[in-house]
């Protein structure tokens, strides 16, 4: 059924334009992840290669300075200061000669008069102790690193050779442009390869035949999923078949029940009418026969009205008016209309509660409560009681109807909401039941997206709660 108030509510909605997020697909996700992996691999490769080459270059310089110092040592020991003076202007490395007291007696770049004592220098101290020493020191700007190699000469003096090289930071900065250009080229090539690789990987998944999952030739990792799909398809087919059979069975039972329920009063009406028509009825019996015909016709009318009510609730698309419905007011109206019936059966009805409002269709809510209260009266004991309570429980709106009647056996409680189902058929017929009252209740509750609970013990009465 359509909800007119809901339609009006939707018409008053102000729609806001929202940018929809892009659909997440396996293909896009894999391509993005592979692109990220390529970019990370390029960065790490470039960084590690730079560090490796720098270390190689650094070791090469150390080897070079060690070899050169060996040559200079031999020449100094052979030719003395004359050799140092001859190479001063042409040598790219800095050469320093230090006496045994640690004072510089020659330097190819600095003024020896301004130089400090060198005994505390690491490379000099090691050379005096072990015959050779090595040290490296960074400049204050971290842009240059200097290597020092010192050897002990035969006369006790120390020969030291120093050379400079750029720090790793400067080296990286110098090649970063080349790394960037090469990285972009490799990244583009990697992305192209990734795109076609992902496409090739995803194609078998996109071409899956879900109607016959077991006939697919796919990756082993997907086979457990396909097996689950097979089981799910089988379950759905079984459920569909079962549901269709159940509906067909319900239709057959409903048709049979309707036919039976209508045939019984029609047979009675036809029989008495035929007797009256043939003139075989005594004048004293005419009134009694007329009352029987009237009662059976009334019962047929009630049955047809109940069938129409259920059909209305079963129909989809039926328009109803949703309004604010006060459950307490509806309950009061139901009690008032059933006052004669309760007095006739000597049953006391007690209504308590407070005004409790829901959104619903008042006519259907009235049908729900009317059928429940009517049953509580009909299936009660002489001098019995019916307690109706309307209340709010943490936002849930409830109507509770409790009686002190005959009760319902546990085996029958699950079926009492079925159409034409009667717990006690003989008693139901004697009080005029059609077997559709609780079915109307169930449909009305479902229509309001509410729920219903039942508690009952044979001989002790029944409690039913409708929760809106």
Here the tokens at position 8 are: 């009006």
Is-contact 380 344, C-beta < 8 A? no
Of the candidates 423, 443, 456, which has an alpha carbon nearest to the alpha carbon of residue 367?
443
Of the candidates 467, 418, 363, which has an alpha carbon nearest to the alpha carbon of residue 1?
363
Here the tokens at position 305 are: 């009205």
Here the tokens at position 98 are: 């230090």
Cα separation of the two ends of the chain: 17
Task: Compute CA 39 distance to the chain's CA centroid, rounded to the nearest angstrom.
Answer: 31
Q: What number of other Cβ atoms are within 10 A of residue 198's Cβ? A: 20
Strand order in the sheet with 132-138: 104-107, 94-98, 158-166, 144-152, 132-138
Strands 132-138 and 144-152, bridge-based pairing: antiparallel
In the chain, DSSP finds a helix count (H) and a strand count (E) of 13, 14
pLDDT confidence of residue 314 = 58
Radius of gyration of the chain (CA): 51
pLDDT confidence of residue 15 = 39
Is-contact 418 439, C-beta < 8 A? yes
pLDDT confidence of residue 398 = 94
**Sequential DSSP letters for 244-288:** HHHHHHHHHHHHHHHHHHHHHHHHHHHHHHHHHHHT-S-HHHHHH
Task: Compute CA 19 distance to the chain's CA centroid, rounded to the nearest angstrom.
Answer: 21
pLDDT tens sequence for the chain (468 residues): 444 444 443 444 343 444 555 566 777 777 788 788 888 888 888 778 777 877 887 888 888 888 888 888 888 888 888 888 877 655 678 889 999 898 999 988 888 888 899 999 999 999 999 999 999 887 665 567 888 999 999 889 999 998 887 666 666 666 777 777 887 888 888 888 878 887 777 777 777 776 776 666 666 667 777 777 777 777 777 777 776 665 666 556 555 555 655 665 677 778 778 778 787 777 777 888 888 787 777 767 766 776 666 666 555 555 667 889 999 999 999 999 899 889 999 999 999 999 999 998 887 888 889 889 988 998 899 999 999 999 999 889 999 999 999 888 776 777 677 655 555 554 445 555 555 667 778 878 888 889 999 898 888 899 999 999
Here the tokens at position 132 are: 């050779």
Query: Domains in the chain, please, with CATH?
Result: 23-207 (3.30.450.20), 214-315 (1.10.287.130), 322-467 (3.30.565.10)
**Residues 333, 337: Cα–Cα separation, whole Å:** 6
**Mean of all residue pLDDT scores within the chain:** 78
């Amino acid at each position: 059924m359509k909800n007119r108030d809901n339609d009006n509510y939707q018409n008053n909605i102000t729609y806001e334009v929202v940018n929809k997020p892009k659909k997440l697909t396996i293909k896009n996700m894999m391509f993005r992840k592979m692109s990220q992996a390529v970019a990370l691999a390029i960065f790490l490769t470039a960084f590690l290669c730079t560090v490796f080459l720098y270390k190689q270059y650094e070791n090469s310089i150390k080897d070079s300075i060690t070899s050169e110092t060996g040559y200079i040592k031999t020449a100094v020991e052979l030719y003395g200061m004359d050799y140092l003076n001859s190479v001063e202007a042409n040598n790219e490395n800095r050469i320093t000669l230090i006496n045994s007291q640690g004072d510089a007696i020659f330097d190819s770049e600095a003024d020896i008069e301004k130089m400090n004592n060198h005994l505390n220098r690491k490379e000099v101290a090691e050379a005096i102790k072990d015959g050779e020493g090595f040290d490296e020191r960074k400049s204050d700007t971290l842009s240059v690193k200097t290597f020092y190699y010192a050897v002990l000469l035969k006369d006790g003096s120390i020969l030291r050779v120093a050379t400079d090289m750029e720090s790793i930071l400067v080296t990286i900065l110098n090649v970063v442009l080349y790394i960037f250009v090469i990285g972009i080229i490799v990244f583009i090539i990697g992305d192209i390869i990734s795109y076609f690789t992902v496409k090739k990987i995803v194609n078998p998944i996109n071409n899956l035949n879900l109607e016959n999952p077991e006939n697919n030739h796919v990756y082993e990792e997907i086979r457990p999923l396909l097996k689950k799909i097979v089981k799910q398809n089988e379950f759905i087919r079984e459920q569909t078949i079962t549901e269709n059979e159940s509906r067909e069975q319900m239709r057959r039972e409903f048709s049979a029940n309707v036919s039976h329920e209508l045939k019984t009063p029609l047979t009675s009406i036809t029989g008495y009418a035929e007797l009256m028509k043939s003139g075989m009825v005594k004048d004293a019996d005419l009134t009694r026969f007329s009352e029987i015909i009237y009662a059976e016709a009334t019962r047929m009318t009630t049955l047809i009205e109940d069938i129409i009510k259920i059909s209305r609730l079963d129909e989809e698309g039926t328009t109803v008016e949703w309004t604010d419905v006060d459950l307490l007011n509806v309950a009061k109206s139901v009690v008032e209309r059933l006052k004669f019936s309760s007095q006739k059966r000597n049953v006391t009805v007690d209504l308590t509660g407070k005004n409790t409002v829901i959104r619903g269709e008042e006519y259907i809510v009235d049908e729900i409560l009317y059928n429940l209260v009517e049953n509580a009266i009909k299936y009660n004991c002489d001098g019995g009681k019916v307690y109706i309570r309307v209340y709010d429980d943490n936002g849930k709106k409830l109507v509770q109807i409790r009686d002190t009647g005959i009760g319902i056996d546990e085996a029958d409680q699950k079926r009492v909401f079925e159409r034409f189902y009667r717990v006690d058929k003989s008693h139901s017929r004697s009080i005029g039941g059609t077997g559709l009252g609780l079915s109307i209740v169930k449909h009305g509750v479902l229509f309001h997206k509410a729920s219903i609970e039942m508690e009952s013990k044979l001989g002790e009465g029944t409690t039913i709660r409708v929760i809106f």
